[in-house]
Amino acid sequence: MIWGILVVSGRLSEAEGAKRLLAKVKDGLTRWVVLWVDGGYEHRIEEWVAEECGIRVDVVKRPEGKKGWVLLPKRWVVERTFAWLGRWRGLAKEYTYLPASTEASILLAMTHLMVKRLTA
């Protein structure tokens, strides 16, 4: 289930993009208690999210001392969603110019996925 989409320029940092997305959808996050984020967000959005959204931020990090590939808890949810979106023909390659077009394609792909599951 998609709760928010924000497509921005590559010049914008991931942390700033996350803040913009959460500011856009924070009124619909009334039941959220925890937000899991990647290690790249550590010390960049925790305070802002707590103040603006009232949500605790947990950083999912690689265990210390581990080398190579490691399965990170909750990370697979994000990767699985990106895989679903990558299977949608319109999102396999980026051909659109406007961010709103990409956002519409993501909504269409997720709607298709949900309808397919409902009718299966």
Picking from 113, 109, 106, the residue whose alpha carbon sits closest to that of residue 7 is 106
Q: Where are the beta strands (DSSP E) in 19-96?
A: 34-38, 56-60
pLDDT of the residue at 15: 92
pLDDT of the residue at 18: 93
Q: Residue 48, Cβ neighbours under 10 Å: how many?
A: 15
Q: What is the pLDDT of residues 79-102, one digit of tens each?
A: 888 888 888 887 877 778 888 998
> 35 by DSSP, 3-state: which?
strand
Q: Residue 4, Cβ neighbours under 10 Å: how many?
A: 13
> Which residues lie below 8 Å from residue 37, measured CB to CB, with a gap of 6+?
18, 45, 57, 58, 59, 60
pLDDT of the residue at 47: 94
pLDDT of the residue at 120: 81
Q: What is the pLDDT of residues 28-75, one digit of tens each?
A: 888 999 999 988 888 999 999 999 999 999 998 888 888 888 888 888
pLDDT of the residue at 54: 93
Q: Of 118 and 40, which is predicted with more confidence?
A: 118
Q: Is the pLDDT reported for residue 12 higher than 80? A: yes
Q: Where are the beta strands (DSSP E) in 1-120?
A: 34-38, 56-60
pLDDT band at 24 (very low <50, low <70, confident <90, very high): very high
Alpha-carbon distance of 77 to 83, in angstroms, equals 10
pLDDT of the residue at 20: 95
